[in-house]
Amino acid sequence: MRIALGQLNPVVGDLVGNAQKIGQAIDLARGQAADLLVTSELVLIGYPPRDLLLRAGIVEQCQLLLEELSEQAGDLPVLIGHPAAALSGTRPLVNRVSLLHHGEVQAVADKRLLPGYDVFDEDRYFEPGQQPSLLNICGTSLGVLICEDLWRASDVTASPKYPCDPTADMVEAGAEMLVALNASPFFMGKGLQHLAHLKEVAQQYKIPVVAVNQVGANDDLIFDGRSAAIDADGTVRHAMCGWQSAVETISFVEPIDGAATVDCERAHEPMRELFHGLVLGVHDYWSKTGNQDAVIGLSGGIDSALTATLAVAALGPQHVQGVMMPSEYSSEGSLTDALALANNLGMPTPLELPIEKPHRSLQAELTAVIGQVKPLTDENLQARVRGVLLMALANDRNALLLATGNKSELAVGYSTIYGDMCGAVAVLGDVLKTVVYELSKWINQHYEELGFNGQPIPEQSITKPPSAELRPNQKDQDSLPPYEVLDQIITGHVDLELTAQEIAQHADLDQDLVEQYVQAIDRAQYKRDQAAVILKVTGRAFGRGRPMPIVMKSTLGIRRPATSH
C-alpha cells in the first residue's frame, strides 16, 4: 500500500479555503499513485477552532464540503479530520475522522481521549468516542487514531490518567498498521519525544505506524508538521521536513531512501527548531490576518535585534520598519547598533523619533498636579511615550507592532504595561533571556543557511550589558539578579511548579532571593493577562496554557505543606 502523507497548513475557520487545500492534496496524491491519503486532525476547520465550534452551521457546512471532496477523491480513499454532531452525551460535537471514497462519506473514528490540560480544551466541546475503529484498505486492517489517542500525554510532565489505551485496543482488535491524524503543537524537544514514542509503539506491537501532523501557526500555537512513517521494527522509514506544507507518498515494501529521509538529529537541534518555529509563528500570524508590514522599536539591544531578525526572515526586509526612539539617557551605541542591524538585514533606514520632548511635556503636566514625579513613575512614563508613538506609526502604516520583551522580563514584571509591552505579537515572550543570547549567537554562526547575506546581529548588541536606558547608567542587573540565576528560578517555578525551597536546593541559590522572585512572578500576572500574543515554544508558556489567577496570595508555593501522618 502506498500512503500519501498530507501535511497541510489550514486557516482556522476557513472551511472553503481548507477544502481547496485538501482538494489540491488529493490531486497530488493521485499523481503520486497513492492508495490512501491521510490528512491531519480537524484539518477541515483548522486547529485549534476553540469557540468557533459553537457557531451555528459549522457541522452542516463541513458535511457539504466533505461530500464535494468525496466526489473529487473518486476511487482514492481519503482520511480527513473534521467536527461532527454528537448523537448523545452532554457536549454538542465529536472530533471525527471520516473516509471519503467513491462519492461517499463514511465515519471511521471519533477521538476517545480529549485533552483538557495546557493549551487544550477539547473536553469543552467534544464527546469522547467509545470504540476502536478499524478500516480495511488494500487488504490491510488499519487502526485509525486521532492525536491524543496515540500520544496519551507522553510529552507532558504531569500527564493525565486516562481510563483506556486506544492504541492497545486497536492492536487487540486486529490492526495491522496504525494511522494517526494529529494537530500537535510544537515546543522545543517535542519532536524528538514524539519520534521516540512512535518507535516504541511500532516495536512494542510489531506493526508499522504512520503519523501525519498539521503544519503552520494559528494564534499562539505553532505546528511543526514533521510527519513520519515508522517500520514495524522501529526504523524511521520516512520523516517529512518541518515548517512547510507538503504531500509525500511512501510505501512500506520499497527500500528506504536514505536521501529522502531527514537527518533527524540535525533537524531537531534546539536552536534550529526554535528559529524555524518563531519564524513560522510570525509569518502565519501576519499572512493569516491579512497583514504584510511590521513596525518594531530598535533600541540597539539584543531583544529588539533578535526580534527584528526573526521578523525579516518571516516577512522580508522591506516589510519590517525599525524605529529608534532615543531618550536623554540613551547611549550612542543604542543608535549605532540599531542602524548596523537594519543595514545588516537590508531593512529600510530606521525612523528616528526622540522621546525627550514629549516626555518632558508629560512630566511637567504631572508635576503641576502631583508634585515631584517618582523615579519609577518617570521611567514608565518614557516607556509609555515609546508605546504610544510605535502604535501610532503602526496605525498610520496599516502595520502590526512587534513586541520585543522576553520571557524573563514578562515573568517578573520587568516591563511596562502599555509601554514596551505594546504590540500584536510578543515573539520572544516564551524565550528566556539566556536563550535569547544563545539563539542570537546561533543565527550569526549559521547566517548563510538561514538566507542572510552576513551575520545579522551586531556583536555589540550581544556583548554589551542589557539596559532599558530609562535613567543614568541603568543596567538590568541593577534591578534583577544575573539572568543565569533568574532563569533558573523562572524555570523551576513556572515550568516545573517547584517550591521556592526546592528551587533553592536544586540550583544552590539563596532561598530568600528565590522567594522574592517567585512572588514577583505571581504578582506580575495582571500584566501578562494584558500582554501581546505570546508564541508558544516551550512546554509551559505564559498565556492560555497557564491560566493563573490575578488576585491571589503570592506566598502560595513558597514551601510544600508538611505531610500529616
Region 263-269 average pLDDT = 73
Please indicate whether residue 86 or residue 559 has the higher confidence score (pLDDT).
86
pTM given for the model? 0.95
pLDDT (0 to 100) of residue 253: 84
Q: Write the pLDDT tens digit of every residue in 157-208.
A: 666 778 899 999 999 999 999 999 999 999 999 999 999 999 999 999 999 9
CA–CA separation, 128 and 110 (whole Å): 7
Q: Which helix (H) or strand (E) holds 146?
A: strand 140-146
Q: Kindly state the cell numbers that stand for 61.
A: 457546512
Per the CB < 8 A criterion, the answer to whether 29 and 4 are in contact is yes
Rg of the chain over CA atoms, in angstroms? 26
Q: Is the pLDDT of residue 563 over 60?
A: no
Mean pLDDT of 59-68: 97
List 127, 147, 199, 409, catalytic entry: 147
Per DSSP, 491 falls in state I
Q: Is the pLDDT of residue 360 over 60?
A: yes
Q: How far apart are CA 176 and CA 2, in angstroms?
A: 15
Does domain 276-476+526-534 fall under CATH 3.40.50.620? My reply is: yes
Q: Is 111 a catalytic residue?
A: yes
What is the mean predicted confidence (pLDDT) over 118-145?
Answer: 94
The residues pairing with 223 across neighbouring beta strands, listed in sequence order, are 216
The one-character DSSP state at 493 is I
- Residue 8's nearest CA partner among 216, 292, 152 is 216
pLDDT at residue 378 greater than cutoff 80: yes
How confident is the model at residue 410, as a pLDDT? Answer: 97
Which pLDDT score, from 0 to 100, does residue 565 have? Answer: 42
pLDDT above 70 for 554: no
For residue 488, which of 467, 471, 469, 502 has the smallest C-alpha distance? 502
Q: Would you state the pLDDT for residue 256?
A: 75
C-alpha to C-alpha distance for 50 and 40, rounded to whole angstroms = 17
Mean pLDDT of the region 529-536? 96
Catalytic, out of 41, 122, 148, 379: 41
Answer yes or no: is pLDDT of 139 > 70.
Answer: yes
Which residue type is seen at 482? P
pLDDT score for 464: 87
What is the model's pLDDT at position 564?
45
Q: What is the mean pLDDT of residues 469-479?
A: 71
Reported as a pLDDT band with limits 50, 70 and 90, residue 265 is low
Instruction: Name 85's bridge partners.
Output: 93
- Which H or E run contains 179? strand 177-182
Nearest to 511 by CA among 528, 499, 520, 522: 499
Task: Express as a percent the part of the chain with pLDDT over 90.
Answer: 87
Look up the CATH number of domain 2-258. Answer: 3.60.110.10
Q: Would the CATH topology of 2-258 be identical to that of 276-476+526-534? A: no
Mean of pLDDT over the chain: 93
Residue 294, beta-bridge partner list: 320, 400
Judge whether 240 and 227 are in contact, CB under 8 Å: yes
Calculate mean pLDDT across residues 238-263: 82
The dihedral formed by the CA atoms of 160, 166, 172 and 175, expressed in degrees to the nearest 10 = -140
Query: Which of the four pLDDT bands, split at 50, 70 and 90, describes residue 17?
Result: very high
From CA 437, how far away is CA 434, in angstroms rounded?
Answer: 5
Mean pLDDT value of segment 493-502: 93
In 418-497 the beta strands, taken as DSSP E runs, fall at 425-426
In Å, what is the CA distance from 466 to each residue of 267, 327, 411, 441, 495?
A: 31, 16, 17, 16, 25
Residue-wise pLDDT for 281-311, tens only, equals: 999 999 999 999 999 999 999 999 999 999 9
d(CA 296, CA 54): 36
Taking residues 471-498, report their average pLDDT.
88
Angle at 121 between CA 540 and CA 553, to 5 degrees: 55
For residue 491, give the nearest of 275, 207, 288, 188 by alpha carbon: 188
A 10 A CB-CB count for 89 gives: 12
| Confidence (pLDDT) at 260 | 47
Helix (H, G, I), strand (E, B) or coil at 537: coil
Residue at grid coordinates 501557526 = 217
Please tell me which residue in 21, 62, 111, 127 is annotated as part of the active site: 111
What is the CB neighbour count within 10 angstroms for residue 290? 6
Alpha carbon distance 361, 89 (integer Å):
63
By mean pLDDT, which of 26-35, 302-311, 542-551 is the weakest?
Answer: 542-551
532: number of CA atoms within 13 Å, CB side? 28
Cα-to-chain-centroid distance, residue 32: 32
| 96 vs 334, higher pLDDT | 96
Cα four-point dihedral sign 200, 122, 522, 519: negative
For residues 402 and 424, the answer to whether their CB atoms sit within 8 Å is: yes
Q: Return the amino acid letter for 493.
A: H
Instruction: Give the three-state DSSP class for 328.
Output: coil
Report d(CA 352, CA 325) in Å as an integer: 6
For residues 92-117, give the mean pLDDT.
95
Taking each helix axis from N to C end, the angle separating 511-523 and 500-507, rounded to the nearest 10 degrees, works out to 130
Q: What is the pLDDT of residue 559?
A: 67
Which range, 386-390, 462-466, 543-547, is most confident?
Answer: 386-390
The grid cell for 151 is 500520544
- Domain extents in the chain: 2-258, 276-476+526-534
Q: State residue 262's pLDDT score.
A: 53
CA separation for the pair 193, 137 (Å, rounded):
29
Sign of the dihedral through C-alpha 410, 416, 417, 422: negative
Q: For 44-48, 350-354, 371-375, 427-431, which range has the lowest pLDDT when averaged over its residues? A: 371-375
Structure confidence at residue 478 (pLDDT)? 76
